[in-house]
Structure 1
Amino acid sequence: MLRRISSSTSMLLTFIAVTLVGPPMTHAAMAFRSIDVGSFALDPGTTFSNQAAALQAVEATGAVTVLDANQVLATSGRTGSAGLCHATGLSSSLKPGGFCWDHADDVSNSYTAAGGWTPQGITGSYDAQPNGLWDNVATRHTAYMASWHFDRLDSTGKLIRNEFARVTMVNANNNAISYNHLLLVQPYINGSGAANFRAMPGTHADGMVWYGNTLFVANGRFLQVYSLKHIWKVNSNQEMVGISGSTSSARWSNYALPLIGQYRTTTSDGTACTAAAGRMPCLNSLSLDRTGQDGLVSAEYYGAAGGRVVRWPLDYQSMLPATTNPDAHGAGVTHPTLGYVSPVWHMQGAATNGTHWYLVGDCPSGVGGGSGDSINYSCIHRALPDNSPHVYTTSPVLSQNIGYSPATKRLWGINERINSARGIRVVFSIDG
């Protein structure tokens, strides 16, 4: 969720800023403390009904071909590499592994006039099904998904944020990495009654969870919902997004993923969500907790300590947040079951194995050096509820979301660091 400039000058400025306003000397005296979440809620309003009508209208045009996750996973695309191709800071005792993107995605730079994509969220078949595999009749896939946002500099040097968002579907079968990008879009019916779709507006794609055929994407005050039974293959590879005549395009991507509904944590669309005690929680990172009733875990990015971690119950039948008053689509107001406030500075992700909580953020003073970068390694902290966290391991520079695989007892994570010369991005896993 941190938005860093990648030029050597700005990296130096960032390093100076982190040094001056970084975390306190220690977090040891502060606990990962339980909080009252009784007033928190996720509210879908009427978005599922509205989006269902628009989605059906777009599909009825014949301009897109409807696919599912199995079909996309079976289609070759870009080629990444198995294993960790960059320094990570991960403890060797935790048996680190993972994979890397191709060169273009590794070095993509948002801070240019052409713009670029920056990774944020991570999920996979380890979330999608309890056995950790995505099944179809012929093949059982080990698969992953990552979320990205697109930024660019305008002609005055101003950063245009969150112009586009996408998710990446990765087939990791047989220790090979093949993946395709899917542009996140919103179907709509225009004033003339014609069906179309546009790029999802203002989406940072902070975090996500793959749950059955549902994909949850966090975006500040909003929890966006997508169906992996409704992946659209477009019929052209143009820059435009949407339908023109009989031509569909998703800004140079072969696929678009349409919104089916969304929840919000506040009653006002307002401006960007701001994390603060007493306010409804922001939805930044996401992970899945399969202990007891399945739960969606959200965590806030906050400029110091004090970001909140909240667990929202899920309904395995509707594959949506659980509610006592579902509409025709299974959606309704949902209240969380528990929450905590984190002492970790700049918390970027949170996940649990059912006993311990793992929190990604800044390292305490004196930890995280040796990255070879102008920014220190991040740290993954581990805590029991209402106890102080301790550093579990250092982790890649600007680590973001993490998730836990109950089938393999491994943590998965992703980092967002920009290095337009040699790349520095990995998707990583460690023993949890």
Structure 2
Amino acid sequence: MKQLLAAATLVAAALIATTPATAAPTDLTASNFQLHKTAYNPTIAALDEKLPKAMVPQVIDDANRAAPLCGSHASGRVASFCWSSASGTDDEHTSDWYPQGITTSADADPSGSYQNRKAILASWYWNGGGTERGARIAFVDYSNPSAPQYRVVLLVEPYTNSGGNPDFRAETTVDADTGAKISLHSGGITWYGHNLYVADTWGGFRVFDLDHLWRVDSNRTAMGLQSDGTYQAYSYKYVLPEAFRYTSSTTGYPALRYSAVSLDRTGPSDSVVVCEYNTATSGTHRVVRFSANPATFELGGTATEAYETGITHMQGSASVRGRFFASTSYTTSSSSYGSLYTFTRGESPTAFLNTLQAHPEDLSYWPATNALWSLSEVPGNRVVYAMDVGLLGWPTVKQGNTGNRVKTVQYLLDAGLEIDGDFGPLTTAAVKSFQAGHGITADGVVNAVTWRALVPSLRPGDIGNAVRALQAELTAHGFAVAVTGAFDQTTGTKVQAFEAANGLPATGMVDADTWKTLLL
């Protein structure tokens, strides 16, 4: 783990913000985006009578593939592993299946564990041609982060066959362009209680009930109910049934694409965030939020927030304490490294180019560890990785820079510097001295690690240069307040207004999230 933390520091130092990618997100009429819940599939009860049930811990404890630790090109990386490369279970290199979505037991339950298991789930879609095999889920046992292992489970759709018998089939959908039957892409997933939500690009969500995992005949390769009475699933030992759906409708705007999804437990109430993938600058690039009910593990039917972001190539999105993050496959790198974007409701998206593993996909946030999880899809370069949110989204400031950010650095150093906004040799020397005193590489560059050490938590009653830095930043953002160095009632009111305008918890106190938003 020490090696991984060291890697996080090194990569974070290279996290350089570009200019804002677009204007601030455009508010859309959230009520125009609707979800409609279907009835619970009655065939599940019939199959419960036919098939032995399994619980999530049983599946996790029955892991049969190792997930070796490996490196990752990702800013703020604190953990990463790859998929099995073993003969017969080579998920790392296969082109038959592609990984897409990610979620964790921290989504399933606020404790971080589900039925006393810590786990990471990843969705995969079939790309092997021939008969469409749908989608599958890798259940990764993460109780020992130094030695993850996993078992793959097939997603199935229960139905009553032509003979009147309960049956199941692979999860497929219809190609919007050709009308052909294709495997469910499962571009994003989120685990909420006993429900697993799987994004259905043009349909909304398919919801799978983890209380009804079934064990099937894994010795043969057919699918569904066979003439000898056995149930098979392409040699998979376990299947997870689709219980119901949320179908999508959009009025007044083009239909919403459900490209990826994540759960947000950091706001005033639970919610899910959907983003849509679009490589063109024209068209839509939206992020939409729906409420989530922790008592029923179901979703609200009407969106509560909706924005046009202008961000192309979005593969995943997550909301953490009011700040949005988006993983994108946009790259200017010959290695196809992905790019991370971040924004708030009132703040233009800022791009951190080429800072993610090549070909990144979905996002999922683990609150207890403040980690943002993602994964990559290309055969031979597939990594599941976690990034420290505290090291994401900070600008890099160094010698030669000028402006308000430099003034903030000079105030926060509290080293007797002239507050002139000019990052010259004296400021560089002061930064190096500060870094050396805090165990940070003394390179004179104010990066994410240095910012985290520089910015203090502030509250009413505080005094000093850090408060002056705060007041100057508030004024620069249009929330004018006198730069007195005293955190008085007026300053608190301005802080609260700034936080509210940017979708942050409006506490009137200043934490790392507030500083980060002020600095971008």
TM-score, with structure 1 as normaliser: 0.77
**Equivalent residue pairs, number:** 351
Q: CA deviation at 1:368?
A: 4.4
1:130, distance to aligned residue in structure 2 (A): 1.1
Q: Deviations over 1:16-38 (max 9, x none)?
A: xxxxxxxxx97534323322121
Summarize the alignment of residues 165-204 of structure 1 with structure 2, pairs less than 5 Å apart.
165-174=135-144, 175-202=146-173, 203-204=184-185
**Structure 1 residue 239, shift from structure 2 partner:** 1.6
| Equivalent in the alignment of 2:255 | 280
Note closer, same or farther for the CA distance 1:127–1:405 as it changes in structure 2 (3 Å cut): same
* Contact preservation (8 Å) 1:144, 1:170: yes
The structure that has the greater radius of gyration is 2
1:310–1:338 Cα contact (<8 Å) kept: yes
Cα contact 1:350–1:402 (8 A) shared by 2: yes
Q: Which of 17, 31, 56 is the equivalent residue of 2:24?
A: 31
Structure 2 CA distance for aligned equivalents of residues 289 and 141 of structure 1? 20
Match of 2:303 among 300, 314, 336: 336
Whether the 8 Å CA contact 1:237–1:250 is kept in 2: the answer is: no
The one of 265, 287, 304 equivalent to 1:309 is: 287
Question: Where do residues 143-222 of structure 1 align in structure 2 (5 Å cutoff)?
Answer: 143-153=119-129, 163-174=133-144, 175-202=146-173, 203-220=184-201, 221-222=203-204
Aligned partners of 2:216 and 2:231 also within 8 Å: yes
| 1:260-275 equivalent positions in 2, closer than 5 A | 260-266=243-249
* 1:230 and 2:212 matched: yes
Partner of 2:68: 81
Give the C-alpha shift of residue 295 in structure 1. 0.4
Residue 33 of structure 1 contacts residue 387 of structure 1 at CA under 8 Å; is this kept in 2? no
How large is the Cα RMSD of the aligned pairs?
Answer: 2.1
The runs of 5 or more residues in structure 1 that have no matched partner are 1-24, 110-115, 155-159, 268-275, 323-333
| More contact order relative to length (CA 8 Å, sep ≥ 6) | 1
The equivalences for 1:134-149 within 5 A come to 134-135=114-115, 140-149=116-125
Shift of 1:370: 5.5
Distance 1:266 1:43 in 2: 8
Return the letter of the residue paired with 1:265: S
Aligned to 2:113: 133
TM-score (norm 2): 0.64
* SS of alignment partner, residue 99 of structure 1: strand
The structure carrying a bigger helix percent of its residues is: 2
**Identity of paired residues, percent?**
30
- Aligned equivalents of 1:170 and 1:430: distance in 2? 18
Counterpart secondary structure, 2:219 = coil
Distance in 2, matches of 1:406 and 1:278, equals: 34
CA contact (8 A) 2:217 2:235 kept: no
Give the 5 Å matches for 1:112-123: 116-123=96-103
Which aligned runs of 4 or more in structure 1 are off by greater than 4 angstroms? none
Between 74-83 and 140-149, the greater mean CA deviation after superposition: 74-83
Q: Quick check: 1:319 aligned with 2:297?
A: yes
Question: In 2 relative to 1, CA 31–304 (structure 1 residues): closer, same or farther, beyond 3 Å?
Answer: farther
CA offset digits 1:78-99 (Å, max 9, x no partner): 1111343xxx4323xx243221
Question: Hey, what's the Cα distance between the residues in 2 that align with 1:126 and 1:283?
Answer: 22
| Structure 1 Cα separation of the partners of residues 332 and 157 of structure 2 | 41
User: How far did 1:362 drift?
Assistant: 4.0
Kept after mapping to 1: 8 A contact 2:329/2:360? no
CA distance in 1, matches of 2:22, 2:138: 40
> More deviation in 407-416 or 243-252?
243-252
- Give the letter for the 1:297 counterpart: V
Which of 346, 351, 356 is the matching residue for 1:391?
A: 351
